[in-house]
Amino acid sequence: MLTRRDFLHTAAASAVVIPSLAHAQSPWPVRDIHAICGTPPGSGADIIVRFYAKKLQDLCGRSVIVENRPGAFGNIATEYVARSKPDGYTIFIAPSSSYLGAAPSLFKKLNFDPLNDFEHVAPLLKNAWILSVSGDSPHKTAAELTAYLKAQGDKASYGSLANTGLISSELYKAQFGLKTVEVKYKATATALNDLWAGNLAFIHIDPTGGGAHFKSGKLRPLAMASAEPLKAVPNVPGAREAGILNSDVVGWWSVVMPKGTPTAVLDQLETWFSRITADPETQAFLTNIGCDPLPGNRGMLRGLLEKEIANWREYVKIANIEVM
């Protein structure tokens, strides 16, 4: 027989258990995750996003669907992520040094706050864009290209691809007082076609987008935009060796999510991406596309981004780039 004392003890226990159940989080993930990419399908960045999306899919047991939202130097994709529901099902695998670090210095108005509208989850990789000419160009070194461009004045053009490509080229121009005219491109393939047709003197291209063309000889790498060479691209001189003393542009990628994404989700993703970075298959993939791994944790990312934002303020001043 249930006594009054037993009844009160049972009721007290229920009062403790029921609230804890009310606050329990549902399992994650229970449906497909969408990985946002800021460039078109087939681009160098798209190749990277799809690799990491497949790796994440293998770990989480759910489909990770890549959504391409190109345009506006990554701003379209970045704003989309900032406005997405923070439920753990929208993930941004992005060149954060460019999309988040550069944007405040390159655009008069942004519809997102790079530091405070996002959860910065995990570092992935680093790379540097490469000063490149067509494989049939007569210029074998950066010095030879520079001499040609000085003689051409504003009659020569270069192609700009993304924020990092733009600033890498403009720092190179600023170092030598070049007047080479910028031509903007949304897609790598279009810029390369114009380079091969002789309409452009040079481009700065990311090692992923240019990798196959470097191997085939259709593109000739002259110098990295980073001061020193990367381990993955040991045969291309760093900017310092090539005489471009004002350039040390190192791009880095990270995983970004909408502000307010549950901490449990962030913790799980940080763990998974740490495993992905350490995976030998990932190491081999990065080496093949000219990138170095960037191990670390999400605690380092805010400081890294703050530093990048400050760097880009200086880059824009040095290169005298007009804010868009």
The tens digit of pLDDT for each residue in 124-183 reads 999 999 999 999 999 999 999 999 999 999 999 999 987 788 889 999 999 999 999 999
The tens digit of pLDDT for each residue in 105-116 reads 989 999 999 999
Q: Please report, for residues 6, 11, 23, 155, 234, the alpha-carbon distance to residue 311 in angstroms, rounded to integers and kept in the order given.
A: 68, 61, 43, 31, 25
33-128+250-319 and 130-224 share one CATH topology?
yes
Which sequence spans correspond to the domains of the chain?
Answer: 33-128+250-319, 130-224
What mean pLDDT is reported for the chain? 90
267, HSE (Cβ side, Cα atoms, 13 Å): 4
pLDDT at 26: 62
Determine what percent of the chain falls in helix, strand and coil, rounding each to the nearest 5: 50, 20, 35
The tens digit of pLDDT for each residue in 72-85 reads 889 999 999 999 99
Report the Cα–Cα distance between both ends of the chain, in Å, rounded: 80
pLDDT at 22: 34
Res. 263 pLDDT band, cuts 50 70 90: very high
Its CATH class, for the domain covering 130-224, is alpha beta
For residue 97, pLDDT beyond 90? yes
- Give which of 187, 181, 135, 180 is closest to 161, Cα–Cα: 187
Its CATH class, for the domain covering 33-128+250-319, is alpha beta
| pTM listed for this prediction | 0.78
For residue 16, pLDDT beyond 90? no
Mean pLDDT for 290-302 is 93
- Of 18-27, 40-49, 166-175, 257-266, which one has max mean pLDDT? 257-266
Mean pLDDT for 89-107 is 94
Phi, psi of 153 (to 5 degrees): 60, -130
The tens digit of pLDDT for each residue in 224-237 reads 999 999 999 889 99
pLDDT at 234: 87
